Each structure stands twice: as C-alpha cells, then as structure tokens.
Amino acid sequence: MSKWVYTFGDGKAEGSADMRNLLGGKGANLAEMSRIGVPVPPGFTISTEVCTFYYSNGDSYPEGLTDQVEQALAGVEATIGASFGDAVNPLLVSVRSGARASMPGMMDTVLNLGLNDVTVAGLAKRSNDERFAYDSYRRFIQMYSDVVLGVEHHLFEDILDEVKRNAGVSQDTQLSATDWRGVIERYKDLVAHELGKPFPQDVKEQIWGAIGAVFGSWMNQRAITYRRLHGIPESWGTAVTVQSMVFGNMGEDCATGVAFSRDPSTGENAFYGEYLVNAQGEDVVAGIRTPQHLTIKGKEKHGSPLPAMEEVMPGLFTDLLNVRNRLEKHYKDMQDMEFTIQQGKLWMLQTRNGKRTVSASVKIAVDMVSEGLLSKEEAVLRVEPQQLDQLLHPTLDPKAKRDVIAKGLPASPGAAAGRVVFTADDAEVWAKRGEKVILARQETSPEDIGGMHVSEGVLTTRGGMTSHAAVVARGMGTPCVAGAGEIRVDVRAREMRVRNVVIKEGDLITLDGSTGEVILGEVATVQPEMTGDFAILMGWVDEVRTMKVRANAETPLDASTARKFGAEGIGLCRTEHMFFDPQRIISMREMILARNEPGRRAALAKLLPYQRQDFVDLFTIMKGLPVTVRLLDPPLHEFLPNTDEEQQEVAEAAGIDVGMVKTAVIALHESNPMLGHRGCRLGVTYPEIYEMQARAILEAAVQVSKETGESVVPEIMIPLVMGKAELDMMKAVIDAVAKEVFAASGMTLTYNVGTMIELPRAALRAGEIAKTAEFFSFGTNDLTQTTLGMSRDDAGNFLEIYRQKGVVETDPFATLDQDGVGELIKIAAERGRATRPGIKLGICGEHGGDPASVEFCQSIGLTYVSCSPYRVPIARLAAAQAALKQRRGK
C-alpha cells in the first residue's frame, strides 16, 4: 500500500529536510528536527501526493489514508501521553498547510483542535486554569468555524463585542472564565443557526474537517492568485501537518521563550534569549510581562534584576543549551529558536536561520570557519552582499532619536547631517567657509557636480534610484535620498516645505541614505568599522572569485576609494564629468559655440592639458591596473546653461552676443536627448573632439609609463555605436593620433579600442562589431532604457504602479531584466566571442553593483563587472557567491 502519512517526534521521523517536495517546507523541517533528536511535539504530515490524488479523483482521499492517519494519531498519543478526545488528559493538535514553496497567508492555521464541551474541562483541570481552557475553546470554535465551516469571522466578533459591552469591559483579558463560557454558548448557537447543524463535538470529525479544508484551500482564489504571481505550479499541491499542542502556561513548571544561538547584533558566540515562566508564546513578544534572560551572562550584561533561566531551571537550561548546540552543528548557522516547556519537559517549536546585523553576519561566518563548522566557501555564501553596504558608510546612531519628516528613496547609502542649501553654488560658498552642507534640489544636473562634491549629502524631490543625483552620489559615496516627493523645494525663497514644516536655508537636517529618511536636526552618526573579520572574509571572497571587479570612477578621489575597496581597475571613466569644472566649462562652451572646425580645434586645444592631467592622475593612482576611458557621451546641450543670467555670463565670457548662445541652446534642443545626438554620433560629427580626447589619454599614458616605469594599457571606449562602421571610423581617428603621439614621444604603448554595447542593435550586430572591437562593455543603463523603451528619468511616473500591480517585480534599473536585456547581453556575448574568442567582456551600468545582476554576469561568463567605488566590496562578494553557485551547479 502507498505511504501517505509521515510521522515525526520522540527523536525519530519518517521524513527529513530533503523531502520538502513531498512534505512541504514545514513538515520536512519538523521531521528533520525530530530526526536529529531535538524534542519537537510529535505529529505527522499527510503528503502532497494526497493533495494531487484529491484533485485528480473528485475531491476524494486515497485508500488507506484513514488508517494511516489513525495510526499516526495513536503514535502521537503514545508519545505525548495524552489521548485525542479524552475527558481527563486530552490531546490537542494544530492542523496546518505546508507547500513546497512558502505561501504565507494561503490558509489560516487551526489551533487547539480536539477541544469540545468535555475535553475543555480536562484541559481546565490539567492546566489548573479554567479561564485559559475556556478562552482556548472559544478561540478554537471561532477559528475552526471560519476556516473549516465557512462562518464569517465578523459574526463572532460581533458577539464578543456585545459581551464585552454588557460586562462593561474593553479588553478580552478582562473577561473571566464564566464570561467565556457564555461566549462559547452563543458561538455554538451562531454556528447551529448559520449551518443548520451544531458545531462538531466529535474530535475525529473535527480533524477530518480541518484536513479537508487545507486541501480545499489549495484551490481557493487567494492561493490561485498567489501561485500565478509567484510562478508556482498548481500540480505541486500542499501537505497537511498535524501536530500535538504544547502549553507553556500550565503552571510554574511551564515556560516559553525565544533564543538565538549567538548574539544577533554582534555575532558573538554567546547563547542569547529570553523566557517567561508559566506563559504563552505571545506573552514574550507582546511585552505585557518583562521577559527574563536565559543566561546569567546575558542577565548581567543587560543589568536585569530578574533571575536567568540558567538559575531558575538549570536542568532544563542545560537541555536547551544542548539543543542549541545540536541545531547549530546540524544547520551550520546561527539559529533563531522558539521553545516551550510544558510541565517540566522542553519542546522545540521552531528553528530557523536567525536574522542578524551585517557585522554579526560577518563575524559568525568567520568564527564558524575557525570553529570548523563551515568551510571558507560556505562562509562566503553566508553573508548577504547587499547588506555589506551598511558596513561601508557612516550610519545613524541607532540609539539617537529621529524626527523623520519625509521619506524618499534610499538612493546612496550612508548617513549625513548638515545645513541645507538649495543651489550647487550656495553649497560651494557655504562649504568654503567651513560649513557642512546638505544640498537639496528638485533634481540635479551635471552643472551641480561641484556643489554635490562639497556636500555631505544630497536630497532630491524628483527622480528615482538611477536619477542623475542617485548615480553621481553613489559614485562619490555621498549619502543621497532621492525622489522625496512630499517635499516642495522653493529655490527662490531659499526654503523647502513638507506638510506644515518649513525648513529654511541653513537649518540642520540629517539624511539616512540607507533608508531614505529625511530627519529634522542633526542626528549622531557612527563611523564604519572595517573589522578584522571583514578583511578575513573578503580575503576568502577573492580566493573563490573568478570574475574581476572594477569601479566606475573619474576623479582621483573616486579612484583612490575604488582601490581601497579592492577594485581591480576602472571599468568606466566618464570623461564628460571632467568638463564641468568651472575653468574647463568655459572652453567646452567655446567649443560648442564655435562656428567651424578651426574654432572647435582652438577651444579643444585649451581643454587638452586639463584632460591629459586627469588621465595622468588616474593612471598614476591605478598603478598599471586597466583603465577603460569612455570618450565624450552626453549631448552637447548638457554643457550649455538654461537661465538667462547664465547665458548672459557665457556670452560675456566667450565675447559673443547672448543671442548666439540662445540660438545654440535652441538649435541643440532635443525632444528625446537620450536618443539624440550623443555618444559616437558626436565623434562622427566632430572627430576633432575624440581626437583631442585620444591624444590626452595616450600622451598621459606615455608620460606615466615613462615616470613610473609601470606599463599603462589604456582601454579607449566608444559609446553608443549601432554597428561596426562608426567604430571603424573612430578607431581610425584614434590610431592616427596614436601614431603621432608615439612618434613624438619616441615610445610605443599597447592600447585597446573597444565599444559600449548599449543599444539593442549593437547587441545584435556584436559579431560584426567584434571584428574591430577589442573589448565590449555592456552599458546596461542605456541598454535597459532602449530595450524596455523606458526613460529612467521618467519611469518614476509609472514604474511604482507597475510594481504595485505586479507587472514588474523589481526596478529594471536596479536589477538587470534578465529576460529582455539579459537575452541581448547573452546574444552579444556569444556573437562577440564567435568572432573574437576571448574578447574582454564587462558590464559598467548601475547593475554592476547589484548581486542578482552580478550572478547573471558570472553565468554568462563576463570578464568583469564595474560599479560605483562604494559597491566594489558588494560586487566582489556577489561575484564570489556566483562563482561558488556556478561551480556547484556544474
């Protein structure tokens, strides 16, 4: 006969953790605990195969199920020493659903099943608490009627409200056992009236009713919707777990508590937890009574006057400590456990890997390696890469008070406090006189770079996670809260408002870039500690990692930060960021306003020395590590000012009529600048611009090579190509410059010319492009914009709605859209490699610092990922984990 039922308890189990598909997550986990000798309340699980049978056979059960359930129930009775339906010592059980994948809220649990008019008296006597027993009974009736019998919940609530009103009380806890008896009678009347038959007193009928309800719930609307949204096949089915109830509130030899196998906030290897004598689980959480510590050490550390469990119940404490040790050894991770002591016996109700702070996470992983519990590889897999972010920036003192006035997007992590200013110029002025400032803008533009640099933090009221402010701030490691839409910035009045709060220029505010909180006043911050454990872990990370990690950086500060965080090169140096410096922007504008090529060349000649020095600095800092330089990318109008005053200034500086400036601004205006005259389209139109940039790069490379003796291999990158022709044309310009530079300097260097792949067409034509391109760098920001037809500056208007309505799961600008953008990257990588085996492939969009995206990059064999300097450690860890997962998958 087929096996439908799997028992657990008493140090044995017919199932185990790896039988998740058959027993569901909950059933498998309980079996596992029992199997390794941890005391769990006994019970049994009806397998998912029964669910499948049920739906394939007109809602009927397979032969033998009834017998197997009876038998298993008898086993539970024997183990627990109580009988189901017994008047004196009744066994009570819980009935729960449990699918292969967690489906929270799919069906309510039924607790206290087995209570009826007779057994409730037995419970009252054994617990020596009538009120508890009758309260449990009325809860059972309410829950069972709702879940199993389909009587609407609110009808019971109406009765309860009325009883409380009549008794003149407002809290359930103020009702006596007698009151509850009355409630129970009215509940039973209600059920009889609604269903035309009485509430079932037969405990066997109760249990089969509950089992049927669980199976039935697999096809309710809530479950169907949930499965559709999460891609769970209907065929999986659910299991049903029946488990004996245990109570921690049956007397002074009872207790209940929660415990962590190590300190979840520091990671210290110290048993940690709280308990209450003669209490229910929810009492510990609810905070009605003050919980006591488990250990004497814990008690002393927190200065608690109440005795520790170690003192009060030394034997049971030892039992618990043994369980803790066994579970940690078994699961090889810090455990978060729930336990109940019923009349002198310890029962474990649950264990799971405990949540912890990131520093605890790192410490535990490292400690467990020295304790021999984990291998280094396993330790590497234990830390959530995204979490590392918290370690790398200053954070708000968790003890400090926060007066949160608004919440935006956590656009660039870290905390910062300062005086608020509303223009980039003001930021520079204030900063010069030694003030710490927070720059608050509706949105930032490239012109604001100077002001952003000197600010402690940046706040914008528009824009998303990949807006200009967010991207630049992350690159600088400056905390940023973006898109705080409730705030209205009034630049002219030099103030901002949120509801009825007015914040004037110079007022102190604090930003938490990790949560998106905007806080009034100055909140104390805590500096990051790169502890020894962190360094040890990152060492292991680099041992297993196969993909390189570079940084997106253009300033010496960025580059130094990147190196400090372990970057193995620069994957994206955006040369245009170098043109916004006040001295340079003049020449840049002169170039744009020039009427012809000689005019442009004259202006470019002025820019050359600056640009060359930029690269000298970068190459020197990067000491022979690869540096990928992207030639000018943004449309030229980004360099021209928009206000009348600024246009007047530019005209004066350039010695031309302001009308000419205005004409240029109008002529350069674009409907969709993202899809406009930018990238290599500028290089094709004005080759002299790329010529100057190539000269600056190559002259700098020669200079640094001569000075340091270290060989510099610049990688020159052409943005926004659609196909091979543009790249050929630009490479010819670069090659010609190289010839000249090498001839003039008497030194020849290796340099590579490659391309961004950031347009769908470029991805499709990659095979052709790779004939010329020596490397590809996937610009996933723009590739996402074009593949999805979605402007990241404008997506804020609808992306949130898309997320709410389940159209997208994650922000495609934060986590790579693998189905769409990812397929194009895969195609490009394959075609590129087919033409040029071993072609260097990297990614330099914002996704380079996103763990899920990094894993994708590993899976398709990219050479490196490149990300903001502050995300380099995250990318390193993510890449290491991806390498390990890939190795295991093979």
Q: Shortest distance, CB of residue 829 to a second copy, whole angstroms?
A: 15
Q: Shortest distance, CB of residue 98 to a second copy, whole angstroms?
A: 28
Q: With CA atoms as reference, report the closest residue to 43 among 112, 93, 115, 82.
A: 93
Quote the CA–CA distance of 441 and 448 in Å, as a whole number.
Answer: 10
Which residues, listed in sequence order, are joined to residue 12 by a DSSP beta bridge?
9
Select 455 or 853, whichever has its Cβ closest to a second copy: 853
3-state secondary structure of 862: coil
Residue pair 48/80 in contact by the 8 Å Cβ criterion: no
Residue type, 8: F
Question: What share of residues in the chain are helix, strand, coil (percent, to 5)?
Answer: 50, 15, 30
Q: Shortest distance, CB of residue 822 to a second copy, whole angstroms?
A: 9
Q: Shortest distance, CB of residue 884 to a second copy, whole angstroms?
A: 30
Q: Shortest distance, CB of residue 862 to a second copy, whole angstroms?
A: 19
Catalytic residue among 468, 577, 637, 847: 468
Residue pair 342/250 in contact by the 8 Å Cβ criterion: yes
Phi-psi region of 482 (alpha: psi -120 to 50; beta: other; left: phi over 0): beta
Residue pair 144/135 in contact by the 8 Å Cβ criterion: no
Q: Between the CA atoms of 480, 387, 389 and 627, what dihedral angle is there, to the nearest 10 degrees? A: -120
Select 749 or 808, whichever has its Cβ closest to a second copy: 808
Q: Shortest distance, CB of residue 686 to a second copy, whole angstroms?
A: 10
Instruction: Write out the two tokens for 70.
Output: 């009876």
Q: What is the DSSP string of 519-538?
A: EES---EE-----HHHHHHH
Q: Shortest distance, CB of residue 656 to a second copy, whole angstroms?
A: 19
From the number of C-beta atoms within 10 Å of its C-beta (0-12, 13-18, 19+), residue 8 rates as: buried
Select 399 or 595, whichever has its Cβ closest to a second copy: 595
Q: With CA atoms as reference, report the closest residue to 32 among 379, 464, 351, 400.
A: 351
Select 216 or 760, whichever has its Cβ closest to a second copy: 760
Q: Shortest distance, CB of residue 309 to a second copy, whole angstroms?
A: 51
In 343-486, which ranges are E strands? 345-353, 395-396, 404-407, 409-412, 415-421, 437-441, 457-460, 480-482
Give start and end residues of each alpha helix (H) in 371-461.
Answer: 376-382, 385-392, 424-432, 449-454
Residues of this chain that bind a second copy (CB under 8 A): 670-677, 681, 684-685, 720, 722-723, 725-726, 729, 758-761, 764-765, 782, 785-791, 793-794, 797-798, 801-802, 805-808, 817, 819-821, 823-824
Quote the CA–CA distance of 834 and 828 in Å, as a whole number.
Answer: 10
Select 415 or 769, whichever has its Cβ closest to a second copy: 769
Q: Shortest distance, CB of residue 812 to a second copy, whole angstroms?
A: 9
Select 59 or 670, whichever has its Cβ closest to a second copy: 670
Residue type, 389: D
Q: β-strand 415-421 against 437-441: which pairing, if any?
A: parallel
Quote the CA–CA distance of 814 and 809 in Å, as a whole number.
Answer: 11
**CA end-to-end distance (rounded Å), the chain:** 38
Select 74 or 229, whichever has its Cβ closest to a second copy: 229
Residue pair 722/729 in contact by the 8 Å Cβ criterion: no
Q: How many CB atoms lie within 10 A of CB 67?
A: 12
Q: What is the DSSP string of 78-143?
A: HHHT-EET-SSSEE-EEEEEEESS--TTSS--EEEET--TTHHHHHHHHHT-HHHHHHHHHHHHHH
Q: What is the DSSP string of 763-785?
A: HHTHHHHTTT-SEEEE-HHHHHH
Residue pair 824/738 in contact by the 8 Å Cβ criterion: no
Q: Shortest distance, CB of residue 817 to a second copy, whole angstroms?
A: 7
Q: How many CB atoms lie within 10 A of CB 170?
A: 10
Q: With CA atoms as reference, report the closest residue to 469 among 451, 496, 489, 491.
A: 451
Quote the CA–CA distance of 74 and 207 in Å, as a whole number.
Answer: 14
Residue pair 705/749 in contact by the 8 Å Cβ criterion: yes
Backbone angles phi, psi at 726, to 5 degrees: -65, -40
Select 404 or 801, whichever has its Cβ closest to a second copy: 801
Residue pair 203/113 in contact by the 8 Å Cβ criterion: yes
Quote the CA–CA distance of 751 and 754 in Å, as a whole number.
Answer: 10
Q: Shortest distance, CB of residue 680 to a second copy, whole angstroms?
A: 9
Select 179 or 811, whichever has its Cβ closest to a second copy: 811
468 is an active site residue: yes
Select 31 or 721, whichever has its Cβ closest to a second copy: 721
Q: Shortest distance, CB of residue 729 to a second copy, whole angstroms?
A: 7
Select 289 or 803, whichever has its Cβ closest to a second copy: 803
Catalytic residue among 254, 480, 680, 844: 844
480 is an active site residue: no
Q: β-strand 525-526 against 548-552: which pairing, if any?
A: unpaired
Q: Shortest distance, CB of residue 504 to a second copy, whole angstroms?
A: 23
Select 131 or 761, whichever has its Cβ closest to a second copy: 761
Select 199 or 813, whichever has its Cβ closest to a second copy: 813
Active site residues: 468, 844
